[in-house]
A and B are shown apart, each in its own frame.
Chain A
Amino acid sequence: MNLLVWHMRKTLVIAWREYRAMVGTRAFLIGMAVMPLLMLGALCVPAVLSGLPQPDIRRIAVMDQTGVLLQPLRQAAEQRNQELLAGTPDRSESGQSGMLSVLGIQDRHLYEFEELPTEGFDDSDRLLQSERIRSGALHAFLEIPGTVLRSSGRSSTTAGTGTLLMWVSEDAALSEARRWCEQLVDVLLLQQRLADTLPPALLPAVIGQLSGPAGIGPVGLYYRDENGRIQRGAQQTSLTALALPIAVMAMMFMAVLLSVQPMLESVLEEKTLRISEVLLGSASATQLMTGKLVGNAAGSMTIFGLYATGAIVAVWQQGAADRVPWALLPWLLIFQLLAVLLFSSVFMSVAACVSQMREAQCLLMPVWLVLMLPLLLWFTVIREPNGTLATVASFLPPATPLLMAVRLCSGAVIPLWQSLLSLLLMLVGTAFGIMTASRLYRAGILRQGQAPGFSELLLLAWRGEAGG
């Protein structure tokens, strides 16, 4: 028993030093502050910019051969501009623009329309307008042929575009303004075509009925509660559907990222400065590695805890605490811990086998790809949390923690067996990873000279004997 305590004590001494070395540095604090900024920067900057009090005006020239669409477009733009200036959300947001709004990249420019002469409008005029766009005097020009009122098909198109209307701008394909105009023109054309076929007295009522929003509410799946009663799933919001999974994944990823790099540097420093030789004269390789892993995991959980605390405070202040599935917290903590242990042990073993950071980075390239895998898949996983790709990918141990976190936080009902199976696979994967890493660590930490290749690494892991 005394021996066990003695061994544990050494492990804890090493863990405590490792923890202090990790979290007690200026670099750590700066990293903690900078990492979220880097990750959310792309999202925050457009949101901040879009919140500027005086948004830019986007001038759009319209060549309206129908003679009836430009005026309603102007009125709608005027109303939109007033709402934007007053801070009222865009009522016309579709599913996608709603997502853009959550991400803070909704188009908040003011739109202004100017009329172009319709007579003899040809390619020379189109070139002229294009030059105005290039010079910045104009954002886009919209060409509405007169035939659009009569045709609902695509037989007669403008300038060979395959569509009835033509939009010309530098960002034509992705233009939010084009999408806004398109939606509005569709409604106006419907009204205009109905006006041609219905008596004027009936027109307002019919249009009202036809264009009234259906209001499809996003609701989670029905389920039976513990009393056997059928319950409706929680009403999903952009917070639960998108912001929560992204935020959780980002926090977990940052916590892993901020812990594996110090681990890599720490082991490399101990190896190159022969500190490990001194340490191994005082503690066994197992004690040393366990201590380092425990200290590193504690540091990583501290990062996760700090970020999570910040997020919880933010959610509370926004009054959205009731929409957060707090029951998921233990799952997230377990997955986070396993992710840190797995990746830290891999980084530790690689660092033990090389002598330079450059060699480590070379060997770690595949590990980085695995680490980044959830970031490549997250959008698909959020859209279809129970899809085949999401389900299968979340069973692969290196990707399990982040992808399961995304799935669990997406609001979808994840079968319990899938959560348990992924946890079991992750436990097995982590245990295997740590065991392999410990063999590599033992074999590599005293080794000097050229970095081993992958085949040699496998051999070292198999033999697991100390290098000389």
Chain B
Amino acid sequence: MKTSKPGADHCGDSGQTMAVIIENAEKRFGQRTAVAGISLSIPAGSLCGFIGPNGSGKTTTLRMILRIVRPDRGKVVVLGADSGKCADHRVGYLPEERGLYRRMKVRELLRYYAALKDVRHPDPEITRWLRRLQADGWDQRRIDGLSKGMCQKIQFIAAVIARPQLLILDEPFSGLDPVNLELLKGAIQDLQQQGTTIILSTHEMETAQRMCERVVMIYRGRKVLDGTVQQILAQSGSGELRVRTVGGRPLPVLPPSVAAVRQQGPYLQLLPSGSLTAAEVLRQLTAVADLEHFEIVRPSLHEIFLRLVSDDAADQPAPVIADSGGRQDLHRGTLTAAAWQSVCSFFRPLGNIGN
């Protein structure tokens, strides 16, 4: 397949290390601020998760990356081309809701989307992808005769048919059965291995945690999380410890390093006092009891997400966990008061934010 890219000259060099750079982008719709000064960078070739509740500004941010809307302020550089220039033929997009013409046949539709991406001879690529996603023989079927999962696969092929350098997937796994889910995950991972930068917007935190190297969370138009999954999970620890004594016996005495304890099934959940390290707490515990389990409790991405967007989050600044080129910076952003409280309590044992 020959993919001509006449836009490359005027879109700038795409050999940069960052596939997407957003600098202080702001977008308002009338009185409503959809995106309030977001800055982020997505390295080329990475698989980056975009998470955030509905109405948080996630879709607007994706639309700015797609050039569908322009930022009122700030800059959005995609594959080396800034806001005013096009990178559309190098960007693939799979929307959350199906963007397929119901009355078109599968191959006809894929040819059309390929033509819009300036792909001259798309048939071999279409055939290859149909086979790859176990959709051979669907060529002549009309879209309105396909199931939701089938449509999802066709939509995915439409997004990747032009071999994009940047692929934006909005909820790509919805409507898929476990078999097709794994099929699509495999395809996405293959694309990433081939060098495609992938932005995966999803509500499924488990998927984001498992698949993505990096995660960006947007909440109320602002970025509140940005970093590798490992960094976020490590930095988001509550500082609590989970232990189990031999035979499940209670602790005979409470060591001075433990401020509070509560029973959780067969485990004891301990809250260390002050800013003691886990090693110090372990040392004190083993002095008073025999332990058969010791664990530093780390919340999942799902729990972090829920805590950050909890309903009682009101108007207060909130922190931003960010990773910029390997540095571990903890920035203080602006979030709601309750969210701030929530996040403060979240990161309290770390002792170096919010104070």
- A residues within 8 Å of B by Cβ? 2-3, 5-6, 9-10, 13-14, 17, 21, 25, 269-270, 273-284, 446, 465-468
Query: Which residue of chain A lies nearest to B92 when distances are taken between CB atoms in the complex?
Result: A281
Q: Which 6 A-B pairs rank lowest in CB-CB distance, beginning with the nearest? A: A278-B99, A282-B116, A281-B93, A468-B29, A274-B97, A275-B99
Interface segment among B60-68, B233-241, B324-332, B337-345: the answer is B60-68
Distance from B125 Cβ to chain A, minimum over Cβ atoms (Å): 16
Other than the known A273-B100, A274-B97, A446-B69, what 10 A-B pairs have Cβ atoms closer than 8 Å?
A2-B6, A13-B116, A273-B97, A278-B95, A279-B116, A280-B68, A467-B29, A468-B27, A468-B29, A468-B60
Least CB distance from A287 to B in Å reads 9
What residues make up the interface of B, taking CB atoms closer than 8 Å to A? 6-7, 9-10, 27, 29, 32, 34, 59-60, 63, 66-70, 86, 88-89, 91, 93, 95-104, 112-113, 115-118, 158, 168
B106, chain A: closest CB distance, angstroms: 15
Pairs across A and B, CB under 8 Å, 11 listed = A21-B103, A269-B101, A275-B101, A278-B95, A278-B99, A279-B99, A279-B116, A281-B88, A283-B116, A467-B29, A468-B59
Instruction: Evaluate contact between B116 and A10: CB separation under 8 angstroms.
Output: yes
A446 with B100: CB separation less than 8 A: no
Chain A contact residues, majority secondary structure: helix
A21 to B59, CA, bound (A): 30
Which residues does chain A contribute within 8 Å of B9, judged by CB atoms? 2
Of all chain B residues, the one with the shortest Cβ separation from A443 is: B29
Q: Which residue of chain B has the shortest Cβ distance to A20 in the bound complex?
A: B108
**A3 is contacted by which of B10, B102, B115 (Cβ under 8 Å)?**
B10
CB distance B99 to A274 under 8 Å?
Answer: yes
A257 to B291, CA, bound (A): 82
Residue of A nearest to B115 (CB): A13
Cross-chain contact A283 with B95 (CB below 8 angstroms): no
Instruction: Name the residue on B nearest A447 (C-beta).
Output: B29
* Chain B residue at minimum C-beta to C-beta distance from A283: B116
**Interfacial chain A residues near B101, Cβ < 8 Å:** 21, 269-270, 273, 275
- Do A274 and B95 touch across chains, with their CB atoms under 8 A apart? yes
Of all chain B residues, the one with the shortest Cβ separation from A468 is B29
Residues of A within 8 A of B34 (CB): 468
Q: Which of chain B's residues have a CB closer than 8 A to the CB of A9?
A: 118
In the bound complex, residues from chain B placing their C-beta under 8 Å from that of A465 are 29
Query: Contact check: which of B63, B70, B96 meets A446 at CB < 8 Å?
Result: B63
Check A273–B99 contact: CB distance below 8 A: yes
CA of A17 to CA of B69 in the docked complex: distance in angstroms? 25
A5 to B4, CA, bound (A): 13
Q: How far is A273 from B104 in the complex, measured between Cα atoms in Å?
A: 13
Report how far A21 CA is from B142 CA in the complex, Å. Answer: 13
A279 to B116, CA, bound (A): 8
Min CB gap A45→B, angstroms = 35
CB pair A13 B60 closer than 8 Å: no
**B60 neighbours in A (Cβ, 8 Å):** 468
What residues on A are CB-neighbors of B95 within 8 Å?
A: 274, 277-278
Bound-state Cα–Cα, A369 to B230, Å: 64
CA distance A284 to B60 in the complex (A): 16
* CB–CB A273/B118 < 8 A: no
Contact in complex: A13, B112 (CB < 8 Å): yes
Known: A13-B112, A273-B102, A278-B93. A466 touches B69 (CB 8 A): yes
A167 to B113, CA, bound (A): 73
Q: Tell whether, in the assembled complex, residue A17 and residue B112 are in contact, meaning their CB atoms are under 8 Å apart.
A: yes
Q: How far is the CB of A395 from chain B (nearest CB, A)?
A: 38
Question: Which of chain A's residues have a CB closer than 8 A to the CB of B103?
Answer: 21, 25
Bound CA–CA A270/B102 (angstroms): 10
Residues of A within 8 A of B102 (CB): 269, 273
On whether the beta carbons of A277 and B7 are closer than 8 Å, the reply is no
- Which residues of chain B come closer than 8 Å to A6, judged between CB atoms? 6-7, 118
Q: Which residues of B contact A17 (CB under 8 A)?
A: 112
A466 proximity list for chain B (CB < 8 A): 63, 68-70
Asked whether A281 and B66 contact (CB < 8 A) given A3-B6, A467-B29, the answer is yes
Residues on the A chain within 8 Å of B117, using CB: 282
Report the Cα distance A282→B95, complex, angstroms.
Answer: 13
Residues of B within 8 A of A273 (CB): 97-102
* Least Cβ–Cβ distance between A158 and chain B, in angstroms: 68
A282 B88 Cβ-Cβ under 8 A: yes
Q: Closest A-chain residue to B117, C-beta based?
A: A282
A6 to B86, CA, bound (A): 12
* CA A129 to CA B112, docked complex, whole Å: 74
Query: Inside 8 A of A446's CB, which chain B residues have their CB?
Result: 63, 68-69
Q: Which residues of A contact B29 (CB under 8 A)?
A: 465, 467-468
In the complex, which residues of chain B have a beta carbon less than 8 angstroms from the beta carbon of A10? Answer: 116, 118
User: In whole Å, how far is B164's beta carbon from the nearest beta carbon of chain A?
Assistant: 10
**Contact A282-B89, Cβ < 8 Å, known A466-B68, A466-B69, A468-B60:** yes
A275 touching B100 by the CB < 8 A rule? yes
> In the complex, are the beta carbons of A281 and B91 less than 8 A apart?
yes
Contacts of A468 in B (CB 8 A): 27, 29, 32, 34, 59-60, 63, 69
Smallest beta-carbon distance B100→chain A, Å: 7
Q: How far is the CA of A6 from the CA of B29 in the complex (A)?
A: 31
Contacts of A279 in B (CB 8 A): 99, 116
Interfacial chain A residues near B115, Cβ < 8 Å:
13
Complex: A275 Cα to B104 Cα, angstroms? 12
From A3, A269, A270, A281, name the one whose CB has the most chain B CB atoms within 10 angstroms: A281
Q: How many angstroms between the C-alpha atoms of A5 and B117 in the bound complex? A: 14
Point out which of B27, B112, B117 has the most chain A C-beta atoms below 10 A from its C-beta: B112
Q: Which residue of B lies closest to A14 (CB)?
A: B116
A279 to B99, CA, bound (A): 9
Q: Say how far A430's CB is from chain B's closest CB, in angstroms.
A: 27
Contacts of B98 on A, CB cut-off 8 Å? Answer: 273-274
Residue among A270, A278, A466 with max Cβ neighbours from chain B (10 Å): A278
Shortest Cβ distance from residue A25 to the other chain B in the assembled complex, whole angstroms: 8
Q: Shortest Cβ distance from A177 into chain B, in angstroms?
A: 54
Nearest Cβ on chain B to A351's Cβ, whole angstroms: 15
Determine how close the nearest CB of chain A comes to the CB of B3; give it in whole angstroms: 13
The residues of B that contact A5 with a CB separation of less than 8 Å are: 6
- What is the bound-complex CA distance between A468 and B69, given in angstroms? 8
Write out the residue numbers on chain B whose beta carbons fall within 8 Å of the beta carbon of A282. 88-89, 113, 116-117
Within the assembled complex, what's the spacing in Å between the Cα atoms of A345 and B197? 38
A275 to B93, CA, bound (A): 11
Most buried by B among A9, A13, A467: A13
Residues of A within 8 A of B168 (CB): 281
Name the A residues within 8 Å of B32 (CB-CB).
468
B86 contact set on A, CB distance < 8 A = 284
| Nearest-neighbor residue (CB-CB) of B65 within chain A | A281
- Which chain B positions have C-beta within 8 A of A14? 116
